[in-house]
Amino acid sequence: MFTVKIDRVNFEYDVNSIVKAFFPEESVKVITPETGQEKRDSWEKDLKLEILFREDGARVNSWLEPDMQIWDWTYDKAAEEGDTYKNGFKRFLYRSLSDVTGKELPWGALTGIRPTKLSYGLLEEGKSDEEILDFYRRRYFASPEKAQLSIDIARREREILSKIHYEGGYSLYIGIPFCPTTCLYCSFTSFAIGVYRKRVEEYIDCLIRELEFVSNQCRHKILDSVYIGGGTPTTLEPEQLDRLLGSLRGFFDFSTAQEFTVEAGRADSITEDKLKVLQRHGVTRISINPQTMKQETLDLIGRRHTVEQVEQAFYMARGLGFDNINMDIILGLPGENAEDVRHTIERIEALSPDSLTVHSLAVKRASRLSQWIQENGVSSMNNTDETMEIAAAGAARMGLLPYYLYRQKNMSGNFENVGYARPGKFGLYNILIIEEVQSIIACGAGSISKRVYPDGRIERSENIKEVALYLEKIDEMIERKRRLLTDAE
């Protein structure tokens, strides 16, 4: 364990993010004035940093070297180029840890999950690429490669989003929280279909009720995109998919929808009958996600399908006429190295999907992977500049352009997730969910609706995660949406 003690609240997220990026193998805990005594007593024995804030700076007591070191920082607004106290401190902490460890991080001291928001805003101000690159270098110590990637994507996003309806429109998300099995790394709302099979029909009944309510509330608004995710939507039987999609089509006006995506997801859930149902109801984009093309890794992470099944599912979908197929991969999976990533990219290149989403593994506390790391160590999970470059080069060879980007806490190698796609095949919903510029109404267990106001303010409404409770409290879920959407017409 690696404990940091700070004497001020509202700094814990940034401190944790920067420290964890330098020490990915450690379980980082941050003690604040609000931390309970029991946790404080348990964590303080592993104290590595103590941060004492003051109005004009901070003092850090460090036990990272044999002898205690004292790092002092003075907040000089002029020297910090007018930036905030918090950002100035983050730069100081980053540089101090970089000096101690000898490491430089790809995104430097930038802790937010949406780097493209910064680039988007600067482009809107009329800044040149050179000015934005200099901003990233001075403000965050970010590498020029990552800064340029952010600029390129922000510029592409700006073009794609020019066609959506910001104030008069919305997008719709539908969550199917069932999977064949739960993957080692997964922290999403996901339940093994075998356990809940007898309640799936009831779940669809409740989902249809929720969708009907939303359609009435939003009848005067423009539907821009629809995304059915999970979980794995194709764990539903063909008849169940048909019933859900038929109701969806009956409730909503799809004439304005620019995109209709269904995550087919895992190859062990995909059949020809299910794909035909999706096709019949006008689904325009699907995902067939291997995560890796190394069979040993698939077995380890709990994806009970073969590499060959992934390829068969892909060719089946192509043969039926699907012309916008996405594939997801994860870099940094246990035991994988650069050659494994190269092998995965080569197998995917042979398929030639229309988009490729490259995820950097993020270790979530709620996933079984967190426990796996405690038992096996973090050293076998490696995501590097080389593996990221292998994936990016493969995407480029397939004619895919980077079009959206986001970061997560505890991400392998302090890297990012990047979506690549052919021109005209960009995933609109993927951009909208990250950039939070349009209201997204979400239905189903564990989903979160976001209402975006013209002034940029965002209100959220969460649905209960656990399936049984969602079914029991569906009236409450609908009432939450009523409060969120009452004056949204």
**Which of 18-32, 233-247, 368-382 is predicted least confidently?**
368-382
Work out the number of other CB atoms within 10 angstroms of the CB of residue 360: 22
pLDDT in tens, 311-353: 999 999 999 999 999 999 999 898 899 999 999 999 999 999 9
- Asked if the model's pLDDT at residue 379 lies above 60, the reply is no
For residue 357, CA distances in Å to 167, 240, 308, 405 come to: 29, 28, 20, 10
pLDDT band of residue 489 (cuts 50, 70, 90) is: very low
Instruction: Render the burial of 291-310: b for 16+ CB within 10 Å, e for the rest.
Output: bbbbeebbebbebebebebb
The pLDDT tens digits of the residues spanning 478-488 come to 999 999 998 74
For residue 366, pLDDT beyond 60 = no
- The arithmetic mean of pLDDT across residues 345-366, rounded, is 89
| 464 sits in which H/E element | none
Q: Which amino acid is at 130?
A: E
Report the pLDDT averaged over residues 179-188. Answer: 69
Residue range 172-193: mean pLDDT, rounded: 78
Does residue 455 have a pLDDT over 80?
yes
pLDDT at 378 > cutoff 80: no
Residue 373 has pLDDT above 70, yes or no: no
Mean pLDDT across the stretch 362-387?
68
- DSSP for 308-347, please give it: HHHHHHHHHHHHTT---EEEEEEES-TT--HHHHHHHHHH
Torsions phi, psi for 484 (to 5 deg): -70, -35
pLDDT of residue 488: 46
Pairs from 446-449 (Cβ < 8 Å, separation ≥ 24): 446/175, 446/177, 446/188, 446/189, 446/470, 447/173, 447/174, 447/175, 447/189, 449/481, 449/484
SS3 at position 164: coil
65 pLDDT higher than 60: yes
Mean pLDDT, rounded, of the chain: 92
CB 301 within 8 A of CB 368: no
113 — pLDDT class (breaks 50, 70, 90): confident
Beta strands in 240-311 (DSSP E): 259-265, 285-288
Over residues 424-443, mean pLDDT: 95
Considering the entire predicted model, what is its pTM?
A: 0.90
Distance of alpha carbon 214 from alpha carbon 478, whole angstroms? 8
Rounding to the nearest 10 degrees, give the CA dihedral for residues 215, 218, 222, 228.
-50
Give yes or no for residue 78 having a pLDDT over 80.
yes
Structural domains in the chain, CATH included, are 1-102 (3.40.50), 104-150 (no CATH), 164-478 (3.30.750.200)
Show the tokens assigned to 153.
Answer: 């994507």
The Cα 233–Cα 188 span in angstroms is 13
pLDDT at 370 over 70: no
Residue 188 has pLDDT above 80, yes or no: no
The answer to which of 122-131, 349-358, 374-383 has the lowest mean pLDDT is 374-383
Q: What mean pLDDT do residues 113-122 have?
A: 90
Contact 186, 366 (CB under 8 A): no
| Count of C-beta atoms within a 10 Å radius of residue 141 | 18
Contact partners, residue 258, CB within 8 Å, separation at least 6: 163, 164, 224, 225, 428
What proportion of the chain, given as a percentage, has pLDDT over 90? 79
Mean pLDDT, residues 60-79: 94
How far is the C-alpha of 20 from the C-alpha of 411, rounded, in Å? Answer: 9
Cβ(349)–Cβ(397) below 8 Å: yes
* Strand ordering across the sheet containing 259-265: 401-406, 417-421, 355-360, 325-331, 285-288, 259-265, 222-230, 169-176, 440-443, 448-452, 458-462
pLDDT tens digits for 81-108? Answer: 889 999 999 999 999 999 999 999 999 9
| Dist. CA 10–CA 249, nearest whole Å | 45
